[in-house]
Homo-oligomer: A and B are copies of this chain.
């Protein structure tokens, strides 16, 4: 086993990996950009090295700097988390050259699965069903138009190097095609430094179901069942759950088998995920394989009891998988809500800034994977994820109930978050009934929300008026300090012991 691991990431996922290392008694090395000196991952690592200025290109994406820290600190392995260098085969090559173990699959597996078109070819050869579309990446507008016409509208434009919903565009009719292509390419360019795209048939009302797999270098592979990620906003996953309400035991077995075939096709080592689209007939089509730890891995951990990050580390150290397929059991139901620093009232624009207070929910069945703390300044340079809130219940209804009560007391002040959005989803009838597809949020949920009457308006008005009243009184006192003993802060007012005079009984 490794003595020391470098975590080449930041935020919640770096903290997640740090936790696994600490639990295993492995020493940890963190890296941080200049704006992340006080970030949680810098605080929690046992050693921490600054690797440059805030822009990721000059720090977290700089292979030379990361390797230099690994050598200086004597780390034997690097965990890349997700994003940044996680699926970069050049980084995998470099680690191999330096004799440092990258915790993840081989550069070959990354290259094959990283190219959507090559991945399609490879898994198709292994007998995995895929969505109809182009097999080669295409670059000119004319080629794209020709391909789209051949496949038939609606089509999806997808970045060849894509992931995380970036460089993705749905095109329903031909006239939209050019502008959509331009935007897909520009996003792909800025996100992946590669603007090539391909075209796929768009499946109507699809559900997004993915299979978590684990493999070791001794040829063993298991799957840990499925996650459903159909609650998406603009093709970005926002809520995930396991198991999926539409997956039957037979379907799970079939999908698991196919996912393992896909993994075997590239001699996959470590944790990976095969994503599928499921159509209304419950037929499933391979979409892509993510050759890294997924954001949503905790839902699988909660229903199986398996610590996926620890398994990653063990197999990277050359150990055999500690579990066989027959040991994997899904118990109960887990749901994850991604809490972003975004303003749901302003079309989810990012809200960097300082978290002035934070209270994280606890209690039975609730897991919070966070990368922030009260007082932390969320930088503008990186993904706006604050935390992943996960709730487990013995069944889906209990999980929803727990998530609802946990979200209701999740307090983040100073920046806006998506917590209110999640509360609304948890109360939505279609969500509760399990009746949704990947377009549910954009097409159904927001429309229903607009028509909704808000509750407790008078409480909102009262409280705002009282706050304003206290503020005005405070300002008045500040202007006329002779009238009082001194300026009075809001906090002082708030903390002043007062005996509540209403609602008392029996005195």
Contact partners of A369 in chain B: CB under 8 A: 362-364
B408 touches A22 (CB 8 A): yes
Residue of B305, B359, B506 touching A64 (CB-CB under 8 A)? B506
Q: How far is the CB of A169 from chain B (nearest CB, A)?
A: 36
Residue of B48, B306, B362 touching A370 (CB-CB under 8 A)? B362
A374 touches B398 (CB 8 A): no
Contact partners of A505 in chain B: CB under 8 A: 49-51, 65, 68-69, 72
B364 touches A301 (CB 8 A): yes
A16 touches B363 (CB 8 A): yes
CA distance A502 to B32 in the complex (A): 12
> Chain B: which residue is nearest A394 at the CB level?
B305
A504 touches B401 (CB 8 A): no
Task: Please tell me if A116 contacts chain B, counting CB pairs below 8 Å.
Answer: no
CA distance A497 to B35 in the complex (A): 8
Contact partners of A50 in chain B: CB under 8 A: 500, 502-505
**Chain A: interface residue count, which band?**
35 or more
Question: Are A52 and B364 CB-contacts (below 8 A) given A23-B401, A305-B394, A357-B374?
Answer: no
CA distance A370 to B401 in the complex (A): 19
B506 touches A62 (CB 8 A): yes
Q: How far is the CB of A68 from chain B (nearest CB, A)?
A: 4
Task: Please tell me if A366 contacts chain B, counting CB pairs below 8 Å.
Answer: yes
Task: Please tell me if A243 contacts chain B, counting CB pairs below 8 Å.
Answer: no
Task: Please tell me if A331 contacts chain B, counting CB pairs below 8 Å.
Answer: yes
Contact partners of A22 in chain B: CB under 8 A: 401, 404-405, 408
Instruction: List A residues 183-213 near B (Cβ within 8 Å).
Output: none
> Chain B: which residue is nearest A491 at the CB level?
B375
A332 touches B359 (CB 8 A): no
> Chain B: which residue is nearest A387 at the CB level?
B362
Q: How far is the CB of A330 from chain B (nearest CB, A)?
A: 12
B363 touches A68 (CB 8 A): no
* The 8 nearest A-B residue pairs measured at CB: A23-B401, A65-B506, A362-B368, A22-B405, A68-B505, A50-B504, A19-B363, A68-B506
